[in-house]
Amino acid sequence: MRTKLTAVLTALSLLITPLSPAITIASAAEEAMVISTDGLELIKELEGFSSEAYQSGGQWYIGYGTGCEEADYPDGITQDEAEELLLEALDDMGNTLSAWLEEYEVTPTQAQFDALLSFTYNLGEGWMTEDCSLVDLLTGSSDSWTDIDLVNALGVWCHADGAVNSVLVQRRLREACLFLYEDYTGESTEAFVSVTLDAGDGTVEQDIVFYERGATLGVLPSAERAGYELTGWQTEDGRLWAEDDIVQEDLAVSALWEAAETAVPLFSDVSEEDWFYSYVQELGQAGVVAGYPDGTFGPYDPVTLGTALALILCSAGYEDQEMTGSHWASGYLELALSLGILEGIGEETLDDSASRLLIAQMAAKTWNLSASQASSPFSDTTDGFVTSLYEAGIVQGSYGADGSLIYQPDSAISRAEITVILSRMLEWQEAANLDETEAEQTEQEEPEQIAYGSYLVDVLEDVPVNSYDADAFYQEDGRIYYESDTVETRTGIDVSVYQGDIDWAAVKNDRIDFAIIRLGFRGYGESGSMNLDRNFTANLEGAIAAGLDVGSTFSPRLLQWKRRLRRRNLSSNIWMDMI
């Protein structure tokens, strides 16, 4: 498939608070979907009409962006003829898109299909690859995602001649809002803004990022330049960008570089090209890890259990341990056994290689990380401690031959790998301590305003604080519970069209007492159109028939409430009714 773009950027998913996907994964449609009338008009609007053939990116087009040869239409074409050509092209491309969706068992709404067809007509079929974040979102490889994730997954495909193209930026926003909100008018694009990054003589991992209008910028993509360090990003008016800046309009920022001091590698067999270089260098300079007498580090050498114990315990703040037995690491073993980090291990195992699974379990327990109850991201282990380290960004795994994420739990861990884990554990602990300090300061300051999503809300002094005991909340099997002798609780769920067809009998049997059912939502823009949730009636009747108590919501702001729960690692589809 030929494309009008001469360069595109591989889409990268941002790490943002996840929501439930806005598509259903179900049995595929029996026949190919076709463009709707509104979808056709949108594509005509976005493409624009040309009665004469024109060239773009080495390819000739005519009418509403239909491919042709230079001499195909010497007398030009009319708008009716152009529409006929467009329909033929969309019919062929729609069949291809439908087949792809069917292969992955993805059933989109009509508006979502129109959005994807417009995107594919403009870009070509090259996005349908496994390394594309949009594919991850559509096929369910990404378990959950937010509106802004989808905007970014579509939006990064906005380049022409190797640079961000403002026309394509607006088109991607139109397509994203059509996918998310069934908005054929484009009014809801005002809810989003973009930040374009210019790395100058360096390279940036992603040169455009989309935000919800009014959100804080947070951490922008990193940039690299040989011999230089990135010191920040500067706006066009000379201001230095800060993470807590609120973005209200499209921005362009440029990188600020400072010549880097050349660091001399500590070990002869570790160079700057190695992925683990910065970790080994940093911990080596801090005296946490050391090399061999010949000046090497042996990054690929396996780590013994004794060495691993000493490294993990000392990095967590425990003092050096004297020998309590015949082995040099016997004191560390005794300490680990007393702390419950290890069980049933004797001195005879201290010189054995430490497996990646054992290291993960020891590290998590040492740093008081409990085993996660979430599904494991790895296909070769379900260990909760490994999952906890993954959720904290401490272990990442690798991809197996079948494309699945693997941890290789039974493999021996290398000296380089354990150094990386230690370094990330220290960074994680530092961040956790910082968050705790900031929370304490915020509590002491008693601010007159609190943050709600991207807004600041006045504190109402005459409204009493709720009397619930924060320590009484606990999470089990993915649900939130409240243990109290004085408060009665019930468990419920909130649902909308995005949960698809629901087996309400199964919901009732899963110890759910009530359901909050979305009645509808208000659209974006000045008109603020009122929209009925397509599954409201079916959900209401099904819940009542199953014997559940029901309530309803009508507010797009419910999504912000969900995001706040997600930031606290709480389930966003389980409600608790305090009686």
Domains and CATH numbers, the chain: 1-143 (1.10.530), 277-427 (no CATH), 470-578 (no CATH)
Q: 491: buried, middle or exposed (CB in 10 Å: 19+, 13-18, 0-12)?
A: middle
Candidates 247, 239, 164; CA nearest to 207 is 164
Across 273-288, average pLDDT: 83
| Chain centre distance of CA 230 | 24
Distance CA 492, CA 475 (A): 15
Distance CA 273, CA 418 (A): 18
**What type of residue sits at position 214?**
G
SS3 227: coil
Predicted local distance difference test score (pLDDT) of residue 451: 60
Can you read off the two tokens belonging to residue 138? 């559509």
Predicted local distance difference test score (pLDDT) of residue 119: 95
Distance CA 370, CA 549 (A): 35
State the distance between the two ends of the chain, measured CA to CA, in whole angstroms: 60
Whether residue 24 is predicted with pLDDT greater than 80 in this model: the reply is no
Q: How does DSSP classify residue 302?
A: B
Model confidence at 198, pLDDT cuts 50, 70, 90, reads very high
Across 221-228, average pLDDT: 83
Query: Which single residue is written with the structure tokens 């800046």?
Result: 245
Range with the largest mean pLDDT of 137-151, 350-364, 459-473, 542-556: 350-364
Model confidence at 226, pLDDT cuts 50, 70, 90, reads confident
Question: E-assigned strands of 523-571?
Answer: 530-532, 549-554
In contact, 202 and 224? CB cutoff 8 Å: yes
pLDDT in tens, 397-408: 888 887 788 999
Does 330 or 465 have the greater pLDDT score? 330
Can you read off the two tokens belonging to residue 229? 């360090």
pLDDT in tens, 76-107: 999 999 999 999 999 999 999 999 999 888 89
Distance CA 157, CA 178 (A): 16
Q: Kindly write down the DSSP assignment for every residue of 510-525, as one continuous string.
A: TT--EEEEEEEEE-ST
Does 434 or 416 have the greater pLDDT score? 416
Candidates 281, 109, 531; CA nearest to 101 is 109
pLDDT in tens, 367-397: 888 898 888 889 999 999 999 898 888 888 8
Whether residue 37 is predicted with pLDDT greater than 50 in this model: the reply is yes
**What type of residue sits at position 223?**
A
pTM of the full predicted structure? 0.46
Lowest mean pLDDT among 40-44, 236-240, 524-528: 524-528
Distance CA 358, CA 302 (A): 13
